[in-house]
Each structure stands twice: as C-alpha cells, then as structure tokens.
Structure 1
Amino acid sequence: MDLPIPLPVGRAISKLGSDISLARRRRHISQASLAERIGASVSTVRRMEKGDVRVPIHFFARALHVFGEIQALADLLDTAKDDIGLALADERLPKRVRSRSGATGAL
C-alpha cells in the first residue's frame, strides 16, 4: 500500500528537480552527460528534472555531488542544530542526578 505523497513533499521534489535542470543547463551539461556522471539513464534524469517522486534519492544526491552541492544535502537535518529535538531531549533530562554508592563525583 503506497501512501499518497503530501503536497509539500511533492512541491519540494519538483523544485529540486527544476533546480537541478537549471543548474545543469547553466553549466552547459547535457542530460546524457549528467546521466553518465550519476550512473543513470537519460530517462531517469528527465524524470528527476520533472520532479518524479519515484526517482531514488541517491540520483538526486549524485547530481548534487556533480554540481558541488552535496554538503547541502548532508546539512539538511543537522542534529546539532535541531532546536526542537534538542529541546525535547532537554525536557526529558533528570532534574537531579544521584551518585551511585561507592562512586565519587570528581573525575
């Protein structure tokens, strides 16, 4: 059973595909050349540029790598900057920590 794609997800993938198409054309790279560089078929590149959500994410990642933008993907959900996740984790911290018997507080 496939879940329907949420509208914001579809829009984001569509925008990424359009941006990849624009970046490719600005660099004067053909679809065939990009396909070869990312290990995909030309039809996969066309589908990716049209925002087809069925294109595996690794092809998008490989295209970002070709354009020198792979770090943007790596930084998308940087857990060190996840303010909501950090706040939730902090809420679950114990209010106090008791020392175990025989253990010392100093390191």
Structure 2
Amino acid sequence: MDGYDERHPDDRLASNHPLLLMHEGTPVGTARLDVTGPRLGVVRLVAIEANLQRRGLGRLLMQEVESYARRVGLEQLEVNAAKEAEGFYQSLGWVAVRSDRENPLMTKSLSPGEIQ
C-alpha cells in the first residue's frame, strides 16, 4: 500500500481491530475495523493481494468484516472508498453519502443478528 506506515499508533489502539483474510493457509487480504462510537465502525486499509483480485476474495473479506462488526455490537459502518472501488461497495449494499469527495464516504447499516 502506498503511504502505509506499519508503525503508526492507530494500528495499536484497543478500539481498532486489524483483520487478516487467510486462504489455503496464506494471508491474501486485510482490513482494519476502527470502533469510533458506541455502535459505529469505520472500515480502513482494505486490500487484497494484487494477483488475487477479481476472484471473490474482496467480497469474502467484506462479509467477514461485517460479521465481525456485528459480533462486537456495531450497527453502522462507514468507509472512505477509493473512487474506483465505489461500485464494488455498492454491489455489497453500501450507500454513497458523499460522492463528491476524492474518496467517497459510504455507509452500511447492519441489523443485529442479520445473516447475509
């Protein structure tokens, strides 16, 4: 990732949850879920290995992020999506609330106990 600082203190905050997607024993994707309010989380640092993209792993990663978010009691998620990923998030039920930005702000409501 361009500009990522693995020593940034945000990665070590107790309210921020780094998540790793494993496939056949190999790490293939990552995301971080930051709990920013009583029921609100922000999804950050979403990435799938470049040579494994467009194989459904991003969809799987986001399903796992949402499942984890529900388990920790979150009801609403936000993401500052890369412009080229806006369609991907929309296909997963995310809604753009600020498309006028370089990285559109998108949200997704999670119903407690909902299974997708």
With the length of structure 2 as denominator, give the TM-score of the two structures.
0.25
Report 1 or 2 for greater relative contact order, CA contacts < 8 Å, sequence distance ≥ 6. 1
Structure that is richer in strand per residue: 2
With the length of structure 1 as denominator, give the TM-score of the two structures.
0.27
